[in-house]
Amino acid sequence: MIARIVSPRVFRGLLPAFSLTVILIAIFYLQPRAMSYFGLNLLLNLALPIAFATLAQMCVITVNDLDLGIGAYVGFVACVSATWLNDQPAIGLLILAGCIVAYGALGALIHLRNLPSIVVTLGMSFFWLGLALLVLPTPGGKAPDWVRAIMTFKTPGVPMTIYAASAVALLVHFGLKRSAYGVVLRGVGGNPRSVERAGWSVLRAKVTMYALAGFFGVMSGISLIGLTTAADANIALRYTLLSIAGVILGGGEFVGGRISPIGAVLGAMTLTLAGSFLSFMRISPDWQIGAQGGILIVVLALRAIINRTEARQSR
């Protein structure tokens, strides 16, 4: 019984929650005042857009691809949200729907021509950045009031971010990990040929996952603009690397369709908190991305140790 509870599998599953807890405890220890509604709200303020971007990246990673254009894409969505969505909501929504279709089409293109996703999405990052500059040549714009109202809504107990992030994580968890079609979608990352042989369309699965990525990207951009109130074409460029780090931190693996939506959201929160942790430690912001890299390496090292223990046990 005890052996089952402390099995490497369970450890691996708990690793994302564990890293988040460690960093939260460290922050509360350094700054006890952070342990309040207001403190948590400030700490996790920007976690929601990062969590959405991480989920978008996770969708692409599920089918063994990588999206290096998600940051620029979220930036473009933010620019559209701060201009069209505010001035002419109908046109704004149309543009955003078009974005999701474009992402699906990108998935189809990558699959049909068997292209390296890294290069295609890196090229697309220029495309989105250019579009964003056309929409909003200089920083500015205004967030629609309803977006602002949702993002600053005061929920009882804990801040809105925590409710929203939990809800989204559970929703995606059930969609991808517990539904029948979710298994097919992940199967495309595991063994596309057998999925194809079993009569499922790999093309359809890839388009679905890319379109989902596009959808989460839209959510990320809109939630970001609700927090910052104004937009800038470069506002989310760093999300590209953050989202990849978040997925990996959350227990996602790069091949084989092994992903964890709940872990990804936890990973995104851990990375968001890493920045605050550094400032509480009075470490210069120069080391911010370095610390994120460090956390990534430590977590990956822990996972490697767990995997090795597992391999030894099964022998």
Partner 1 sequence: MIADRLNTLFAKPWIWAFLGAGLVWLATIAFTRGQGAGEILSAALSFATFSAIIGIGQMYVITLGPGNIDLSIPATMTFAGAVSMKIIDTQDSMVVPGLVIALTCGAAGFFNYGLIRVLRIPPIIATLSSSFLVQSSAIAYGRGLKIKPPPILADFTTAKILGVPLLALCVIGLAAVMSVVLHRTVYGKSVIAIGQNPRAAQLTGINVEFTRFATYVLSAVLAGLCGYVLSGFSGGASLNMGADYLLASIAVVVIGGTSVAGGFANLPGIWGAALFMFLLVTMLNTFGLTAGVRLILTGVIIVCVITLAGGRKT
Taking alpha carbons only, the member of 4, 19, 5 closest to residue 302 is 19
Helix H, strand E, coil C: the string for 32-74 is HHHCCHHHHHHHHCCHHHHHHHHHHHHHHHHCCCCCCCHHHHH
Residue 292 interacts with partner 1 (CB under 8 A): yes or no: yes
Residue 297 engages partner 1 in binding (rule: CB under 8 A): yes
Q: Which listed residue (105, 291, 309, 310) binds partner 1 by CB under 8 A?
A: 291
Q: Does 119 bind partner 1 (CB under 8 A)?
A: yes
Tell whether residue 131 is a contact of partner 1 (CB under 8 A). Answer: yes
Q: How many other CB atoms are found less than 10 A from the CB of residue 36?
A: 10
129 binds partner 1 (CB under 8 A): yes
CA–CA distances in Å: residue 84 to residues 89, 129, 136, 141, 235: 6, 17, 10, 9, 17
Smallest distance, partner 1 to C-beta of residue 297, A: 5
User: Of these, 245, 266, 268, 269, which contacts partner 1 (CB under 8 A)?
Assistant: 245
Please give the Cα distance from 269 to 50 (Å, whole number): 8
| Sign (positive or negative) of CA dihedral 119, 122, 126, 128 | positive
Binding residue (CB under 8 A) for partner 1 from 63, 99, 100, 124: 124
Name the segment binding partner 1 (CB under 8 A); options: 14-22, 80-88, 142-150, 300-308.
300-308
Site string for partner 1, 222-241 (x = CB under 8 A): -------------------x
Distances 300 to 19, 96, 252 between C-alpha atoms, Å: 11, 36, 11
Q: Which residues are near partner 1 by CB under 8 A?
A: 66, 109, 113-116, 118-120, 122-134, 137, 241, 244-245, 248, 254-255, 284, 286-294, 296-297, 300-301, 303-304, 307
